[in-house]
Amino acid sequence: MSASSSTDATRRRVALLTLGCARNEVDSEELAARLHGGGWDVTTDGEGADVVLVNTCGFVEKAKHDSIQTLLAAADTGAKVVAAGCMAERYGKELADSLPEAEAILSFDDYPDIAARLDAVLAGETISPHVPRDRRELLPLTPVERRAAAVVQPGHAVVDEHTPAHLRTVLRRRLDTGPVASLKLASGCDRRCTFCAIPAFRGAFVSRTPDELLAEAEWLAGTGVRELVLVSENSTSYGKDLGDQRALEKLLPQLAAVSGIVRVRVSYLQPAETRPGLVEAIATTPGVAPYFDLSFQHSSEPVLRRMRRFGSTERFLELLSSARSLAPSLGARSNFIVGFPGETRADFDELVRFLTEARLDAIGIFDYSDEDGTEAAGFADKVKSATIKRRLDKLSALADELCSQRAEDRLGSTVEVLVDTIEDGVVEGRGAHQAPEVDGSTTLVAPEDGSVDLAALQPGDLVRARVVSSEGVDLVAVPVEMVSAAAGSSGVRG
């Protein structure tokens, strides 16, 4: 849905390509709404586009490399190429000087006028690139004072702040028609992890209000969305700038009650801020996936302190245990960095011990690399690259084995599968322990006796199924009964 509609009979065509995380995907859908309202036809296919707008990722070196390659490939199509997003915000003029193939490098501050910016690009005008600045400095230090500041926060745009949220036009235009969509809780981060540059270009932490989130959730449900994935840089901080540390606990049952929504999933939890009340809300609220996406990063106390994070193997295991006491079959995932400056063999062995005992469903392993502007980049006690590679290979192999074992543990159990896609007769979805794209999937198959007709299923159906096999983190399951049929579905026929 767009903020306004164009009366221009000659609409221009823009291909909007999104790289990086789910937060970027939400930002792209805001840009799509603004562009559509400004007279542009928006597509995700570069063929025949007048302009290719790349929403870049600037998180780690590989992501930056992928962004550059996408921009260069877009330039080869003959369309005018524009860079937006995190990498563009982070490097600004530096990126413009090194990438002449791009017609313009845009800042987050350009988002409200994105249609006019692309109009200018198409007209051959020059847009001067911005000089990057630390966006944390744009907002007050005190969180509760930030909402009054007039600072652009991608994914937070409001068409008319004087109209109640449930009556406003939602400034978002979906770029796909799948049954799952991300809902941005907040932007920015107040943490100062020594390896992370995100707060400098994403800014300080700012929550969206519950009424805005509920209104957008209802709008998404109206477009066919069945599962909401709540995203932010740090979901456990939600509400602190609204004066309510329990805001997320209160919001979850309200989102789960939105008509048409059958599953709400929370992502990006900081272990040190995951309070008992929030654990209980995620583990026990009907309609909320008992799923814990916990940003552990490491488990050795000395390494965590150098990362300017908190916790330990024992504290993290206790957190997982407390959650499992409420929801024994919950899903849990995390990412880990190996080779952080100062990481000793004992530190690495402690991380191996944690992974072995944690019983995580999905594990991401990353090798440490220096990031521009981070404190860790200046640390002297760097781990040798050969050592990092050896530890990365060992931990990656262990993670694959452990996650496969965890999937095998679910054999014979019953899972609720949200059907995502049906292609060439293959029905694929995800259990409550499987987040989109990162945690594997569940393929539904008909039983040998033919008692279930898979042709009756469609994307968006929520089906109870029995797990019959696994491969890696992926499951194969036989439907047992329909839990909630998507609009127009004929259900599981026996």
Which amino acid, 352?
A: V
Strand partners, 286: none
Whether residue 200 contacts residue 246, with contact meaning beta carbons closer than 8 Å, is answered with no
Give the helix/strand (H/E) hosting 388. helix 385-408
Distance CA 180, CA 193 (A): 31
403 a known binding residue?
no
The pair of structure tokens assigned to 35 is 């562009």
Maximal CA-CA distance, the chain? 67
Could you report how far apart the first and last alpha carbons of the chain are, in Å? Answer: 39
CB 476 within 8 A of CB 445: yes
Rounded to 10 degrees, the C-alpha dihedral 162/166/169/171 comes to 100
Helix 385-408, helix 345-358: angle, nearest 10: 10
Q: What is 411-432 written as a DSSP string?
A: TT-EEEEEEEEEETTEEEEE-T
Residues 239, 248: Cα–Cα separation, whole Å: 7
Interhelix angle 345-358/313-326, nearest 10 degrees: 10
- Of 28, 56, 308, nearest to 201 by C-alpha is 56
Distances (CA, A) of 380 to 159, 292, 340, 375: 49, 34, 11, 11
What is the rounded radius of gyration, in angstroms, for the C-alpha atoms of the chain? 23
Residues of the binding site for [4Fe-4S] cluster: 21, 57, 86, 189, 193, 196
Residues of the binding site: 21, 57, 86, 189, 193, 196
